[in-house]
């Protein structure tokens, strides 16, 4: 029996981690895997609070590169992980670096928004920005980028509420209001409340999202891209 696949996860938030685990479980089918959440975290190797959100991912990328003193492809933690999944929602393409006080001496690149559809116009631009955070111009080996359009909640809606997703008038991956839609669901189906995303509700539905992953791939081009690139990285590992 082969050892479990070791996957490091860098994401904007804890609920994104749940969705990523569901997707990875679906892609790996019966193969065992273990995950380690590198981001979001609330303290880093420099003793500073990081928290979550896109800026936390940015800081993780920059500090990881600084620690290595070289490009991201030389990261030493690959001795203890087989793959790295790096997540940033596509709505970050419309954000200014100055919108988060944690970011200092920011590089160029944001905002990088484009008309949608197609979703890829935005995600392609954002992926170039994220690679810049890593000091790279192409995706490093053993690394998989994950850029849901406009957010991970697009995938959640497609997985858990396919009828609602089908009935939406605007192309699924171009809507910005899925958190509002999920917050308006009946109480027993509600993953987001006025107090924020309910991590326990997401965790309860991880198995459902995993089972529904084929329909998410069929309806969301970025889910399909993530799936294909994850499997390709797995073969190359």
Which letter, b or e, does each residue of 93-131 get, where b requires 16 or more Cβ atoms within 10 Å of its Cβ? bbbebeebeebeeeeebbebbbebeebbbbbebbbebbb
- Residue pair 19/85 in contact (Cβ under 8 Å)? The answer is no
> Residue 87's closest CA among 7, 180, 31?
7
Estimate to the nearest angstrom the gap between the alpha carbon of 70 and the chain centroid: 24
Q: pTM of the predicted model, to two decimals? A: 0.92
Helix axes 221-236, 14-28, angle to 10 degrees: 60
Dist. CA 68–CA 79, nearest whole Å: 14
pLDDT of residue 173: 94
Residue in the block written with tokens 């065992």 = 32
Report the pLDDT value the prediction gives residue 25, as an integer from 0 to 100: 98
Residues 6+ apart with CB under 8 A from 158: 165, 172, 212, 215, 216, 219, 220, 223
The span from the CA of 37 to the CA of 26, in Å, is 19
Structure tokens at 138: 């192409």
Q: pLDDT of the chain along its 237 residues, tens only?
A: 578 999 999 999 999 999 999 999 999 999 999 999 999 875 444 444 567 999 999 999 998 888 766 555 555 555 688 999 999 999 999 999 999 999 988 889 999 999 999 999 999 999 999 999 998 999 988 999 999 999 999 999 999 999 888 777 568 999 988 888 899 898 888 999 988 999 999 999 999 999 999 999 999 999 999 999 999 999 998
Report pLDDT for 41: 74
Sign of the dihedral defined by the CA atoms of residues 106, 111, 112, 118, in that order: positive
The predicted pLDDT at position 155 comes to 97
Q: In what order do the strands lie in the sheet with 33-39?
A: 33-39, 5-10, 83-87, 143-146
Concatenating the DSSP letter of every residue in 43-106 gives: --TTS---BSSHHHHHHHHHHHHHHHTS-GGG-GGGGS-SEEEEE--GGGGG--GGGSTT--S-
Domain that holds residue 227: 5-236
Residue 49 CA to residue 31 CA, distance in Å, equals 35
How many folded domains does the chain comprise?
1
């Amino acid at each position: 029996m082969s050892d479990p696949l070791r996957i490091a996860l860098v994401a904007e938030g804890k609920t994104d981690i749940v969705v990523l685990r569901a997707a990875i479980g679906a892609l790996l089918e019966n193969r065992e895997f273990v995950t380690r959440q590198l981001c979001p975290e609330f303290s880093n190797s420099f003793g500073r609070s990081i928290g979550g959100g896109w800026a936390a991912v940015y800081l993780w990328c920059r500090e990881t590169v600084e620690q290595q003193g070289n490009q991201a492809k030389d990261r030493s933690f690959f001795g203890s992980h087989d793959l790295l999944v790096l997540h940033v929602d596509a709505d970050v393409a419309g954000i200014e670096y100055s919108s988060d006080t944690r970011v200092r001496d920011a590089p160029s690149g944001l905002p990088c928004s484009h008309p949608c559809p197609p979703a890829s116009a935005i995600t392609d631009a954002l992926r170039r920005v994220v690679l810049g955070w890593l000091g790279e111009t192409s995706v490093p080996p053993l690394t998989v980028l994950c850029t849901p359009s406009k957010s991970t909640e697009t995938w959640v809606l497609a997985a858990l509420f396919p009828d609602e997703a089908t009935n939406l008038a605007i192309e699924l991956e171009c809507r910005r209001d899925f958190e509002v839609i999920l917050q308006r669901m009946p109480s027993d189906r509600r993953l987001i409340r006025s107090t924020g995303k309910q991590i326990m509700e997401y965790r309860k539905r991880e198995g459902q999202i995993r089972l529904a992953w084929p329909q998410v791939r069929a309806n969301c081009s970025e889910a399909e891209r993530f799936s294909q690139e994850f499997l390709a990285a797995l073969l190359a590992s």
